[in-house]
Structure 1
Amino acid sequence: MPYIKVDEETNLYYQDQGEGQAVIFVHGVMMSSRFFERQFDFFKEKYRTITFDLRGHGQSSKVPYGHTVANYAKDLKMFIEKLGLDDVILVGWSMGAFVIWDYFNQFGDEHIKAVTIVDQSPSDYLWDGWEYGAFHFEAIKGVMQAIQEDQRSFNSEFIYGMFKEKPDPVQHQWILEEMMKLPAAIASTIVFNQTAVDYRETLSNVTVPTLICFGRDDTFFPVAAGEYIQRRIPGSKLIAFENSSHCLFLEETDTFNRELDTFFQSLN
């Protein structure tokens, strides 16, 4: 299996197929690159398509350190440079969007041609006056406790909340097994960190063409959060997926792939 070494003890598992414009998909917290398998198979026919597992996740090294959004962004930059890429299109789902926004905060648009943001508010925390988050302090404290005490049960229930329609048992099972590849100690650490970050004031640092995709079902985030992002990233475009919640690339795969392909083609 192919790996990229980003520090002395950390190897990131990745897949890399196809030719032409490079597209990298960045998954969410507690998830893995497998979530993008339907995108990988579609886009590799037209693009150099790359998926990878963030440190600790999926098949990447289970190192006990470096689990912050900011450090994941550093890993992403190292990953891009080790592959010798430039003018990359980044697609970030959920926390993957945080990783992209943090990349821009640290490195600007170095190596980046365009961005797609998939169903992520600029902050998960319900700050005073901010209604588009997912957690207040008691809630995140409860999540961390649940992960530490019974990670499998927490993950199993969490999966149902990511879909507008209940996933079938086969889909639920593979998602659960992917989530269980992340050790509980790492899961609670990165869940807390990604809840505490706040990109509301730095969205304008994204200076490349941007597509914003949100599920209309607002179990996670309302489309209004996407509208907030659109107002703060000049020239960005927002698309709402009417029959999706948080996993729109699984819930409306054909529509999702088509909209991203159209966006990518518009960049030429």
Structure 2
Amino acid sequence: MPVLTTSDDIRLHYVDEGPRDAPVLLIVPGWSGSARWFEQQISGLSGRFRVVCFDPRGQGESERTDAGQRMERVAKDLHDLITALDLREITLLGWSLGVSTVLSYVDVFGCGVLRRIALVCGGPRLINSGEWELGFVDVPQALDWVALQRKSMEEAADFVLPQFFRDERPAEQLAWLRSEITSMNPAGSAAMCWNVLNQDYTDVLAKVQVPTLVLTGAHDRVIPAGNGPYLAETIGDARLTVFDDSAHCPFIEEPDRFNEELASFMA
């Protein structure tokens, strides 16, 4: 897998598959995710599209680090990758925390090189407070979640991984997913989670000026499925697709349909 060195000297691994003259799909994984999580999209779509997916800093095969674990920096990582590969007319897909990365990117860099956006199982505001009830946690739970990662990534994995899926997954698959979580830098992971949980991108939704596909699992308990309708109704040119047999990872739980929906949107 090729390597990008970011503008602050962090090594990021990425994949770049498919015809160079084909429409570009750029995938941004969420917390703990990597290109391996999206292998069914890379293999299933790279015959028709140029599929690029990177491992965010501290995750997958990228450099293990607690440096730069904040949304402004990961948005710059995304910009560094787009610039290095000279990508244009991009369909930019973010999953979970990757949705926050996409919105942070749009906030800072705009939609100039973007043709379309796909938002998967994410939301613009991840802490519940006041009338907002579509978040991941409330403030005390956020403090507990961050403390749990600092204490033990193994315990963090065992807490959150079962919530990613509607139905039980094969043991072999769960084993490597868990290994990706437990191999993360605890301080870096905790810092990133605390930073993203304290963001509010609701005002950025008006800046999304390209066609947008919102994809959500009907049984998502990690980032409540109600975020899907909210995003689709709030973004100017957006439509919603719901995966009835999925929770937080429809690209793993229903990969064939996920790929079909995405390919149709890109076409």
What TM-score, normalized by structure 2, do the two folds share? Answer: 0.96
Paired residue type of 1:202: V
Residue in 1 that maps onto 2:13: 13
Residue in 2 that maps onto 1:125: 127
Distance of 2:17 and 2:43 partners within structure 1: 9
Aligned equivalent of 2:80, options 78, 81, 85: 78
SS of residue matched to 2:202 = coil
Residue in 2 that maps onto 1:235: 237
CA contact (8 A) 2:136 2:224 kept: no
CA contact (8 A) 1:32 1:179 kept: no
CA contact (8 A) 1:9 1:61 kept: no
Aligned equivalent of 2:188, options 167, 186, 189: 186
What TM-score, normalized by structure 1, do the two folds share? Answer: 0.96
| Cα-to-partner distance string for 1:27-68 (whole Å, 9 max, x where unaligned) | 001222211001000111101111111111111122331111
Residue in 1 that maps onto 2:68: 66
CA contact (8 A) 2:23 2:49 kept: yes
Residue in 1 that maps onto 2:209: 207
| Cα-to-partner distance string for 1:52-99 (whole Å, 9 max, x where unaligned) | 111111111223311111211111011101001111111100011111
CA contact (8 A) 1:59 1:181 kept: no
Mapped pair 1:260 → 2:262: yes
Query: Can you give the 5+ residue segments of structure 1 that lack an aligned partner in the other structure?
Result: none
SS of residue matched to 1:9 = coil
Distance of 2:108 and 2:122 partners within structure 1: 19
Query: Can you give the 5+ residue segments of structure 2 that lack an aligned partner in the other structure?
Result: none
The alpha carbon displacement at 1:11 in A equals 1.4
Distance of 2:27 and 2:109 partners within structure 1: 18
| Cα-to-partner distance string for 1:94-129 (whole Å, 9 max, x where unaligned) | 011111111111011121111000011211100211
Paired residue type of 2:221: T
Give the share of equivalent positions with the same residue, in percent.
Answer: 28
Mapped pair 1:108 → 2:110: yes
Distance of 1:119 and 1:8 partners within structure 2: 29
Instruction: Provide runs of 4+ in structure 1 moved above 6 Å.
Output: none
Paired residue type of 1:120: G
Mapped pair 1:147 → 2:125: no
The alpha carbon displacement at 1:8 in A equals 4.5
Q: CA RMSD in A?
A: 1.2
